Amino acid sequence: TVLRLTQYRRITVNGYLKVQGTEGFPVYITDIRDDSAGGSLDSETSTGEPGWWRSIYIQNEGSADLEWCVISYGGRSDGAALTKTGSGYLKLVNSVIKNSQSAGLRILEGYSRFEYGNNWFVGNSIGVRVGINASFADLSSSFEQNGSDILIDGGTINTAVRWGAHSDYSMIVTGDITVSAGATLEILPGTVVKFSQYRGIVVSGHLSALGEQQEQIYFTDLRDDTAGGDTNSDSYSSAPGPGWWRSISVQDSGSAELQWCNVLYAGYGDRAGVLKTGDGTLSLRDSRISGIAGDGLHLRNNTGTIEVIRSSFDANANGVALTQENRAITLEECVFEGNSEFGVRNDSSTEIVAAGCWWGDITGPHHISMNPRGEGDAVSDRVVFDPWIGKDEIDWESILEEYEPDDEEKFTEEAQEEVSDWRVVSVQEYCLVIPVHWNDFTEEDREEIEPYHPGLGVLGTWSAGSRYGQNATTAAVYYAPTDFIEDLIDDFRGTPEMQTVRHIETMLLGKRAIFYVFEQPGFARAYVSFISSPDEQGKHILLLAIAPFEELPGAEEILDTMFTSFCLCDDPSSAVSELSEIHRRPADWYWYSSDGLCVEIPGNWYDNTEFEQYYIQDEPDVELIAFLGDREYGDENIQFVIWRVTPEELNVTREELKEDMQVIEESEATVAEKTAYWLMLTEPDYNIDRIIFAHHYETDSDGFALTIGIFVKLGYWEESEPVVQRILESLNYCD
């Protein structure tokens, strides 16, 4: 039978429709102009057009049996060529739905029975559209040349629902899915679930996703062509990426079973691939969580049973992370590899047992004190990781020989080198360590902030940037009223797209404190730590830091060191104490000579003369003798320079310095046993604490005068002044 419909017509079924073809003689329901079925109705050759007629619409108590039928060119205005709604049943087997302007089949909730299988959906805008609370678990049907294979509507599931399709195709979640308490969502082996941007699944009922080793289940980015085909039909024009979709969030008394599952490219909003809270259970077996913009698995305030066995966490920020209070957890035979921050991060008081896992290297995970030689993914405190997979293969003797110092002198040199990147600073009675190349912007911060916040005290502000307000990692210590802190937290929470990554209790100066981490994805992270209870003045010690996204995760490691080092100077933390001890050791000095001049300089200084010579080689009025500094060229905190300069050039340089900077002292002094002009300047706006410019009045026979220059970066003069004094006192002609 061939049934042709005129334009805009619809078959509405409130009773019963039976369309019974056979394999050799299918029934055709199509556009009246479709000459491919039943021949031409006139002398002209014509073809059908998608959306010519409306649909077969089965509603209310209506039911239908469709077998061996071909439905073509429908889909106008009703959203599908074949729609099932209401309480009746639908059977659709061995049939073809093609060239629909919208969906081929749309199935909505409420049906009494839905039988399907071995169908072919081809050339439709959407192959099948599945409403919330409707099941579609068809591993036998085929999809070709559709705009999308299977679309899943968002909403709340409050019954038992099954999803499934052959692994060649994709089921696309177009809206957030909530599995309510008492409801179940089951996903069949081999199913590929892809998410539209920012969408996710929240489970308060039960999620069952039990794949098989050869038929694994995927939860992934819509743009991921490696599973379920090229879903967005753009070939290689787009690629999946972290944070595309939200997460699988198991909350309240909800539970989830995931086996042979792949959770990929999630992390928007929740900063996790799988997020578990509440008292429900979670079983994660033989699965992989990868490419997450945040934590692969995040447990927060979880009191339910957690089972994580033979699962892999790679290419995330953290593989597994715990925050706030949680029930004890054991990670069995898991793999942690290529996670940028930690393989396992524990910010709770609960211990994590992760022994018998692989960390990406036979030396095991890196822990700063428990396994400092580990080259695998890092672990935080309160993680039990020993023994690990590969430990028995290590040649410990060769590793210890590689790291063992030959003698005390070598040990001292290594210790000096290790701490050369840090220095101790004090603000009132407090001390902390900061990177040696960071700059002090305390005064600028006071001028900028204190006038607008009565009662706020800026104790210290430091930044990796070269100027105040630059987009660079910055940290500060404030003495802040309670309302300032409350407003600060509210501002962070109220910023568009700002997310609370962590909120835990901790200790600061031996007192109970609160620690927050906020994040605006792709822009910055903010770190806030403050003592919970105000002092007698109604104020709190507050540590605040901002790190641009492009400087993570390195900036977070720096800030973690700074925050944990913060202490009372009279009761120093280990970092402050160790660094202070090494800095108190007298440096070895040695004599440096060039062009008949000798000077005593610290033994760990660098001779950067060759580098500076390159830049002034074309200057006829300047001859460089020495360019020495405490760090490598371009990164010095202290520089000592010796030139020979013509009087004309000296006059120009002297006036330029006085014009551009603040003069502290202009006088005469003795330099290398001769009377010399002496000029000392400062300019905080240029990040300069001191510049000393001095030269002999007399010139040598070639018309050049001996000239010295000393540069000290802002914040370094107090510790550098004795060094500068010793250098100047030692400078002399070698004979």
Q: Which residues are 65's β-sheet partners?
A: 18, 91
Asked whether the predicted pLDDT for residue 586 surpasses 70, the reply is no
Distance CA 533, CA 75 (A): 65
Same domain, 577 and 603: no
Tell me the per-residue pLDDT of 252-296, one tens digit each, with 9 for 90 and over.
999 999 999 999 999 998 899 999 999 999 999 999 999 999 999
* Other beta carbons within 10 Å of 576: 23
Beta carbons of 633 and 707 less than 8 angstroms apart:
no
Same domain, 548 and 603: no
Asked whether the predicted pLDDT for residue 581 surpasses 70, the reply is no
Which among 428, 545, 528, 542 has a CA at the least distance from the CA of 482? 542
Domain count for the chain: 3
pLDDT value, residue 23: 95
Distance CA 179, CA 298 (A): 19
712 within a domain of the structure (yes/no): yes
Q: List the 457-463 sheet strands across, edge first.
A: 439-440, 457-463, 474-481, 539-548, 524-531, 511-520, 499-508
Same domain, 572 and 591: no
159 within a domain of the structure (yes/no): no
Asked whether the predicted pLDDT for residue 402 surpasses 60, the reply is no
Enter the tokens of residue 32.
């009246």
Could you tell me the pLDDT band of residue 204, with boundaries at 50, 70 and 90?
Answer: very high
Same domain, 437 and 549: yes
Which among 515, 544, 559, 512 has a CA at the least distance from the CA of 531? 512
pLDDT value, residue 42: 67
**Residue 10: alpha-carbon gap to chain centroid:** 52
Could you tell me the pLDDT band of residue 397, with boundaries at 50, 70 and 90?
Answer: low
Ranges 122-126, 187-191, 435-439: which has the least confidence: 435-439
Query: Which position has the higher pLDDT, 14 or 413?
Result: 14
Of how many residues is the chain composed? 735
Q: What is the DSSP letter of 512?
A: E
Distance CA 264, CA 244 (A): 9
Give the predicted TM-score (pTM) of the model: 0.59
Asked whether the predicted pLDDT for residue 3 surpasses 80, the reply is yes
Same domain, 470 and 576: yes
pLDDT value, residue 545: 94
Among 190-199, 233-242, 373-382, 701-710, name the most confident range.
190-199
Query: Which position has the higher pLDDT, 532 or 97?
Result: 97
> Quick one: average pLDDT of 494-507?
79
Ranges 15-24, 337-346, 393-402: which has the least confidence: 393-402
Distance CA 62, CA 143 (A): 27
Judging by beta carbons within 10 Å of its beta carbon (0-12, 13-18, 19+), is residue 530 exposed, middle or buried? buried
Which among 634, 680, 641, 635 has a CA at the least distance from the CA of 661? 680
Enter the tokens of residue 10.
């619809």
274 within a domain of the structure (yes/no): no
Asked whether the predicted pLDDT for residue 325 surpasses 80, the reply is no
Query: Which position has the higher pLDDT, 347 or 141?
Result: 141
724 within a domain of the structure (yes/no): yes
Which residues fall within 8 angstroms of residue 453, CB to CB, at 6 or more apart? Answer: 484
Beta carbons of 291 and 268 less than 8 angstroms apart:
no
Place of tokens 């007698």: 536
Listed residues 551, 582, 613: the one ending a domain = 582
Asked whether the predicted pLDDT for residue 658 surpasses 80, the reply is yes
Asked whether the predicted pLDDT for residue 404 surpasses 50, the reply is no
What are the C-alpha distances in Å from 733 to residues 447, 623, 679, 729?
47, 17, 22, 12
> Quick one: average pLDDT of 218-225?
95
Which among 536, 418, 530 has a CA at the least distance from the CA of 484? 530
Ranges 41-55, 237-251, 665-679: which has the least confidence: 41-55
The chain-wide mean pLDDT, for the chain, equals: 89
324 within a domain of the structure (yes/no): no
Asked whether the predicted pLDDT for residue 625 surpasses 70, the reply is yes
CATH of the domain at 500: 3.40.1000.10
Same domain, 574 and 592: no
pLDDT value, residue 501: 76
pLDDT value, residue 396: 52
Give SS3 for 451. Answer: helix
Pairing between β-strand 705-713 and β-strand 96-98 as defined by DSSP bridges: unpaired
Same domain, 477 and 590: no
Q: What is the DSSP letter of 624?
A: E
Same domain, 512 and 569: yes
pLDDT value, residue 254: 98
* Other beta carbons within 10 Å of 722: 9
Query: Which position has the higher pLDDT, 156 or 732?
Result: 156
Same domain, 664 and 551: no
Distance CA 119, CA 165 (A): 12
Could you tell me the pLDDT band of residue 415, with boundaries at 50, 70 and 90?
Answer: very low
Q: Please, what is the end-to-end C-alpha distance for the chain in angstroms?
A: 117
Enter the tokens of residue 716.
């370094």
Domain that holds residue 693: 586-733
Same domain, 94 and 149: yes
568 within a domain of the structure (yes/no): yes
147 within a domain of the structure (yes/no): yes
pLDDT value, residue 553: 74
Listed residues 582, 601, 617: the one ending a domain = 582
Which residues fall within 8 angstroms of residue 509, CB to CB, at 6 or more apart? Answer: 531, 541, 566, 567, 568
Same domain, 508 and 625: no
Pairing between β-strand 69-72 and β-strand 96-98 as defined by DSSP bridges: parallel
Distance CA 531, CA 513 (A): 4
Asked whether the predicted pLDDT for residue 38 surpasses 70, the reply is yes
Asked whether the predicted pLDDT for residue 582 surpasses 70, the reply is no
Distance CA 196, CA 186 (A): 20
Q: What is the DSSP letter of 408?
A: H
Beta carbons of 332 and 355 less than 8 angstroms apart:
no
Listed residues 109, 137, 153: the one ending a domain = 153
Which among 387, 394, 313, 391 has a CA at the least distance from the CA of 354? 387
Q: What is the DSSP letter of 586?
A: P
Distance CA 264, CA 508 (A): 37
pLDDT value, residue 408: 35
Distance CA 656, CA 401 (A): 56
Same domain, 61 and 148: yes
Could you tell me the pLDDT band of residue 403, with boundaries at 50, 70 and 90?
Answer: very low
131 within a domain of the structure (yes/no): yes
Q: What angle do CA 197, 202, 208 make, to 5 degrees?
A: 110
**Residue 63: alpha-carbon gap to chain centroid:** 52
